[in-house]
Amino acid sequence: MSNQVKISAAVIGAFVLVIVGLLSLGAFSDEPEEADPAAPGESQLVRSDSHILGPEGDSGVTFVEFLDFECESCLAAFPAVEQLREQYEGEVTFVVRYFPLSGHFNGERAARAVEAAAQQGQFEEMYRRMYETQTQWGEQQTPHDDLFASFADDLGLDMAQYEADYNDPATAERVAKDVADGEALGVQGTPTFFVDGKQLEPQSADDLTEAIDDALAN
């Protein structure tokens, strides 16, 4: 699909203003949750178990986002990423990697909740729910395990399985593996985007579109 489909000015404005504001506050310099570093040569941008939003693209181009569901800049970028998914559906593969930041009390919990939902085939549904509700639980210093469980219940998940997966050390290890990969790849904050293996430093949503168009052209 050509890039004649434009991302709305409102989305671009929100994306730029929030990211610039958080950069000035040092939000992107937060350290991620501690994780065992990946052994040399073992870090991967995309793994066989990495989560894909929607169908895989047929061009071979990948768009990878390292994100923290409690990150306000990730929330600001979310509508732009959704429009990119619509614009390049069937062409580009959109991959999500977890990267909860240590300064966000519920960031790792949110990632585990999404991963637990993924075990029942509801990754994207819980992914969306986290962004839709971030203002209810973000930037707070109290655990919101029960709230996240209520999201799972709303989605009709098997709650016994959800609770078991949410508390399973393997789920925390799955999140930590993404963090370790991100650190090894030079990720220092969220959101961090890669297109076709190249880390981007976008100043606007148009920069993301340009990077994808360049990758498709090449």
Question: Is position 2 within any domain?
Answer: no
* Cα maximum dimension of the chain: 48
Question: Is position 168 within any domain?
Answer: yes
pLDDT recorded at residue 42: 54
Question: Is position 170 within any domain?
Answer: yes
Question: Is position 52 within any domain?
Answer: yes
What is the mean pLDDT of each successive set of 10 residues along the chain, which is 218 residues long? 41 44 37 41 83 96 98 97 97 98 96 98 98 96 97 98 98 98 96 97 94 96
pLDDT recorded at residue 21: 41
Joined together, the tokens standing for residue 157 give 């998940």
Question: Is position 1 within any domain?
Answer: no
Question: Is position 137 within any domain?
Answer: yes
Question: Is position 3 within any domain?
Answer: no
Question: Is position 50 within any domain?
Answer: yes
CATH number at residue 139: 3.40.30.10
DSSP string, 124-182: HHHHHHHHHTHHHHTT-SS--HHHHHHHHHHTT--HHHHHHHHH-HHHHHHHHHHHHHH
Number of domains in the chain: 1
Amino acid, res. 215: A
Q: Which residue has the tokens 């959704």?
A: 82
The domain in which residue 198 lies consists of 9-217
pLDDT recorded at residue 43: 65
pLDDT recorded at residue 12: 43
